[in-house]
Structure 1
């Protein structure tokens, strides 16, 4: 084991130890998220209610982690009670619940929101009716008039803004600066009954552990008849507080993470064991053709032999005409000008002027100026475009 590998190994171990120490020594913070998880002891979990549910329903309670659609597709049941507490169900599952109610079952639905077509079929419309920081929930039945619960931590403010005439109001929300709003209703549906409560927060640990709050929960569930009860719970595992919980909770990210760590270890091992020397960069041979042309051009320019440059430019141009346009350049007459005009589409005036300059360049006795060379060069380049 060479020195480089030891350095990499020490760095890796130190980083892992630092991460472990941060995890062990981190301070616990209160989780105020509304998770409604039966295994959570956080303020808005359902740990307390889950433990008390056995006595509340007289040992006649089934906890089901399947969706209602899957459960009822596999089980044929008679009349029974159905409980749903803040569970995100698909529309088909809601339809399965209503189908069971229509056959004689009773459903206690405690959610802040369900699909609109489902709520319309029951007979109500739910909406945000308040943004108050606290309120009081009370039942309207005279035998429960002394039982209430005060919500002083993050109430949802949801209630029923529209209720059909045949729907009975069983509970309401009372606020100082707002009119009373219905939050607990009863609706007949086929042979059964649907109870809907828009604020399931009163079943969480925070409120059930407050003195007097449990009585309100008992009153609400007393509307269900004494028979087998099926509770469709949220299928959530216990939430870890590990800083990598999001990555490790997703299979694809988890495999990518372990693959990254494994690749890093292999990289360190092989890189330290056998490191290749740096390969020198070989510069490719430089194309000096352009430099050569520039040098020749500068030489002619310094000599001031514009006549020779015009002659060579004329030769290059005529050769290009013969090769590319297949025009005979032996006689620069009217016939030549006409053919060049037809194949290039350039004006006859430009072509005639170019022919005149070509002849001047080919005449060994012509007096050629720098301006003639510049003009000819531009004209011939324009003709070849």
Structure 2
């Protein structure tokens, strides 16, 4: 009995605990999901499940299908016949020329191409002869991003009411259109064009730059469902096929692109792109050139002045002024003999005829003049007095030797 009582208590406790969890979960406020997906199977505020589910009611005679294949590979549409429609929903209509050509061929055969996107690639703008102002500019320059308001043109639409909701804006506008082949269908709260029609062959292109106007949040807010009904009324109700295509939405996610940035938008314009790249290239070249080692100008170095001769002359004047001619003559003789030893490698220990012959052979100086110099040097060794004339003559003999030897 105690065993069953314990089991009963545990069971009641578990049931009570689970009930409390369910009650708390039910009473917990639901968190708003701000992600913008635009996917047809998403029931979050910025999904497009409501718009997709309403298509059979708006077009009862048409077969409604979904795919994410690229233009030209659609299995459920016949490119050679008319009375069909494709609704392309994406954040960034980053189409290239080879993707736009199948769309044009499809429309010219009497079909309808409805493109819903926030941004258009450079190729798409060029193809449709348009220019768009992206929301990213408003974001960077501080304009509000909430509370979208849309208006339809009269004509072609009869109802001229303003449709709005308090959610994200996420819109763009056309700043240039080809007025000869384009009809304005709608505007935003600033009267900027965001919905246009273009005729091509037997069919039409429709371009809409406010994708969140097709979101669950917008369509379920007040009477905004009427905006959706009127916008899609441009497609005849008797079409037999409608395809909801998310190829460009998938293409964007496969490329793992980041959210629109100011530079990515500006790079859509070739002039700005190449101007910026040229400036960066010039800056890089300047940095590389300035990185080279710069050498200062090498200063001119003057050769050292030989002060020895000046010193000797100064000493000579000193001896001369003191009339010490003998000592001065000895100094002059010693300098002469040192000159012979250093320049001609001549031994000067014995000043005889052999010495004179050796000096003559190495210097080619006249032998008689060398004999006079040698005799006077020997004379200075024993002389007690030398006159001014003798000293002057000896000086001239030595100078003549230095200059001509």
TM-score, normalising length: structure 1: 0.49
Give the greater-gyration-radius structure (CA): 2
**TM-score normalised per structure 2:** 0.47
